[in-house]
Copies of this chain bind each other. A is one copy, B any other.
Amino acid sequence: MAPVPKPSISHRLAEAAVALFDENGYDATTVDDIAARAGVSRSTFFRHYHSKEDAIFPDHDALLARIDTRLRASAADTAIVAITDAVRLVLAHYVDDAEVSLRRYRLVREVPALRDREIASVARYQRLFREFVGEWLGDSPDAGLRAELMAASVVAAHNQVLRGWLRAGGAYDPFGLLDHALGYVIATFRHLEQPQEKGEQVVVATFSRSASPRAVMEAIQAHLEAR
């Protein structure tokens, strides 16, 4: 039988970093400590990670690339499906290795430098969504503003669901809540889409006494935007 496949240096470094951050805290851990525990030199650390913070955010670039390709592959289906899929991809990335996500969450929550970095990387996701929505809306009036709003809302919805799941210790399946939250966003922005005139008609609407205003709104929206 083959011996235990020796893990890559990157993995050893990441594990050493997380372990030391857990034991001694982020600030009290030097890059030398991480390299020493991983059994390599300080130079090697900086060849694999460009900064001390990078050791704990290893895969943001790869995820960004996956989001980008998913969004760009939205020729056939509708844009909303592409957005929903892309957001689900992000959440799945966290849920798939929950232990790592949870440990990182605890760390990020209490180290300001890591929190700021997390926020900055979230902004990069938001930028991807904004560009996609912007291209989708074309040059309709207020396209830039609407793209900005929609991207911010999509990302905020995802973060709300993710943070709740993290705070609960990853105890449940968050995809239902994500769909609910995204449904909120989509319903919110649906009536901002510029509907095209398609022959004029008189609309007369009647509703039962027990219909909630929100149900009324949704019914009306469905009618108004069915072309």
Contacts and interface: CB of A to CB of B under 8 A. Distances in A.
Size category of the A interface is 35 or more
9 contacts: A145-B160, A146-B184, A148-B160, A188-B188, A197-B212, A202-B207, A203-B206, A205-B205, A217-B224
Given A152-B155, A160-B145, A216 B192 contact: no
B195 A206 contact: no
Contacts of A213: 191, 195, 224-225
A191 B215 CA distance: 11
Nearest to A120: B116
Report, nearest first, the 5 A-B pairs whose CB atoms are least far apart: A152-B156, A116-B120, A200-B209, A152-B152, A213-B224
Q: How many copies does the complex hold?
A: 2
Interface in A188-227: 188-189, 191-192, 195, 197, 200-207, 209-210, 212-214, 216-217, 220-221, 224-225
A188 B192 contact: yes
Interface in A158-206: 159-160, 164, 181, 184-185, 188-189, 191-192, 195, 197, 200-206
Query: Which secondary structure characterizes the binding site on chain A?
Result: helix
A124 B85 CA distance: 29
B202 A205 contact: no
A43 B72 CA distance: 51
A82 interface: no
Contact of A188 (B148, B149, B155): B149
Which has the most chain B C-beta neighbours within 10 Å: A189, A205, A212? A205
Contacts of A217: 191, 220-221, 224
Contacts of A185: 149
